[in-house]
Structure formats: structure tokens, C-alpha cells
Amino acid sequence: MKILVVDDEMVSREKMKMIMGHFGECDAVESGADAMEKFVSAWNSWSPYDLISLDVQMPEMDGVEVLNRIRGMEREKNVPENKRVKVVMVTARSDKDTIMTSIQAGCNDYVVKPFDKTIVAKKLTKLGFHVHLF
């Protein structure tokens, strides 16, 4: 599984990268612009990401904007829904508006900070990935 972790906060990014690294090949970036660059580059090299862990709150380009751009590109390229990258939004805010905005933008699930390996593994299993707790 090929995974991209996007979070502007270094501690959260490193923690998620460490957890996700147990489930597959994992890249990590600190901004929405970097996430788009990685996503497009992976797509253009015929090696797209299977999963993106995407922080909701980031400066300049937040996670919802990144997700909207990714879903727009997938629609533009006529990627069938079952072949689109799975996106798990990561947020410190568990309010209904934040979660609903993420779902409406096209996320597959969300994780509320603080998270741990058990929570992440359960979310990935729910999304159809075969993962084992370590």
C-alpha cells in the first residue's frame, strides 16, 4: 500500500508516518501545496497513492481544499469511484461542521486527534485495507 501523510504539525505528521509505515510505503509532507505536488507526481508516474491521511487545518491550503482538488482531478480523469484514493481526514476538531464539511468534500473517513495505532488500524480495516496490529 502506498500512503501519503499530510500534516503541518511536525509531531502529528511524524506520529502518523510512524503508524502508517507499518502498513505500507509512506511519504509525508507538511503542506497542502506539497500534498498536491506529491499526488500529481505519483499519478503521472503511474504509481498513485492508495491512501492519504490529510490534516483538516493547515495554513494556506487546508485539507478540505486539497481534498476538493484531488476529487476534481479524479473526476476530470474519469477515475471510477472504487479506484479513487482513500482519504482519511485528521482533525483536532470533532465538531459536526468540520466532519460534515470533510464528508461532503469526499473523504472516506476521519480520525480525531489524539489518535493511536489501534484507532488508525480500525479505520483502515473499515476502508477495506488488510492491516494487522503490530
- Indicate the pLDDT class of residue 134, thresholds 50, 70 and 90: low
Architecture of domain 2-126: 3-Layer(aba) Sandwich (3.40)
Query: pLDDT per residue over 31-79, tens digit each?
Result: 999 999 999 999 999 999 999 999 999 999 999 999 999 999 999 999 9
Domain chopping of the chain, boundaries: 2-126
The pTM of the full predicted model, rounded to 2 decimals, is 0.93
Q: pLDDT by residue (tens digit) across 82-98?
A: 999 999 999 887 788 88
Asked if 35 and 7 count as a contact pair (C-beta separation under 8 A), the reply is no
